[in-house]
Structure 1
Amino acid sequence: MLKKSLLFIFALVLFFTCYHLDVPTASAFPPGTPSKSAAQSQLDSLTVESEGSMSGYSREEFPHWEYQGDGCDTRQLVLQRDADYYSGECPVTSGKWYSYYDGVIVNDPSDLDIDHVVPLAEAWRSGASSWSTDKREDFANDLNGPQLIAVTYSTNRSKGDQDPSTWQPPRYSSHCGYAKWWINTKYSWDLSLQSSEKSALQTMLDTCQY
């Protein structure tokens, strides 16, 4: 009986330890994450149309990372914002980050990319090609909404410029947050989406509890 009780206690400890490791700290979330109901309303209001051309696109059309004052650029501010703790100011030299897409703990900022949740090329194909350079710069450096997040460079580079119909974060429990961020960014910047993209976002949003 004692042996069974000890095994049960061990199983509980193991469960809660694993559960804790898979749960991001609050700093893993960028600002402006909408509720499920708000994201659903935003998704329903987005314009669905065929994807635009890549003609004329280059990353230089979206100037980043812009200087933000006090020796910091946008990348450095996101690293500071998303860290549990960090050393150094600008540049940040070390710290602790939780990469929301894959659940990896990172201590070296050189192992992190700042992901544009809606990639620059995707934005270009969805309406940003008609924007002014100043507006594209604002989009590429948006610190007010959930468009920028620090993640492992491996997941960011595997994503590239794909939308959710062809790429989703490898950690299934991150699909809810990712869908909310993508939807809110497209809504806030009045960008369109494709039918397949909308279907994938709906499936991901359905995983949210609230």
Structure 2
Amino acid sequence: DGATWTAASDLDIDHLVPLSNAWKSGAAAWTTPQRQAFANDLTNPQLLAVTDNVNESKSDSGPEDWKPELKSYWCTYAKMWVKVKGVYDLTITSAEKSALTTMLDTC
């Protein structure tokens, strides 16, 4: 959100691709260890420290329903989303693809 925060209590760890989105786009077929690996992935850009305001605003939305407030972050956000979806072989809806294309056009 571009703000500076000094209290750790104002931060949350956000799943870039929300767990509910992953479930609907392929994770439902995974084993429990695969789902745990996805939920705790520190290798790919899946876990982000964000302000609690951003996490509450985004909730379990995908890019078709929520975009970062800072348009200057759209490119980075969309690239990370595509990477995570690709690494885990998760599907992307047409609405999601349209939103990601709009965001990637800012790169």
- Is residue 142 from structure 1 mapped to residue 41 from structure 2 by the alignment? yes
Per-residue deviation at 1:190?
0.3
- Is residue 103 from structure 1 mapped to residue 2 from structure 2 by the alignment? yes
2:57 pairs, out of 155, 158, 161, with 158
Unmatched runs of 5 consecutive residues or more in structure 2: none
TM norm structure 1: 0.50
Q: Which residue in 2 is equivalent to 1:188?
A: 87
SS of match in other structure, 2:92? coil
Alpha-carbon separation, structure 1, partners of 2:15 and 2:27: 14
SS of match in other structure, 1:105? coil
Q: Which residue in 1 is equivalent to 2:29?
A: 130
**Which portions of structure 1, spanning 4 or more consecutive aligned residues, are displaced by more than 6 angstroms?**
none
Per-residue deviation at 1:107?
1.4
SS of match in other structure, 2:106? coil
Q: Which residue in 2 is equivalent to 1:30?
A: none
Return the index of the structure with the highest Cα Rg. 1
Indicate the structure with greater strand content: 1
SS of match in other structure, 2:12? strand
Q: Which residue in 2 is equivalent to 1:32?
A: none
Residues 103-157 of structure 1: CA distance to partner in whole angstroms, max 9, x if unpaired? 1112111110111000000000000011111111100110001111101011111
Alpha-carbon separation, structure 2, partners of 1:169 and 1:159: 8
1:116 pairs, out of 15, 29, 40, with 15
Q: CA RMSD in A?
A: 0.7
Identity among equivalent pairs (%): 55
SS of match in other structure, 2:65? coil
Q: Which amino acid aligns with 2:81?
A: W
Unmatched runs of 5 consecutive residues or more in structure 1: 1-101
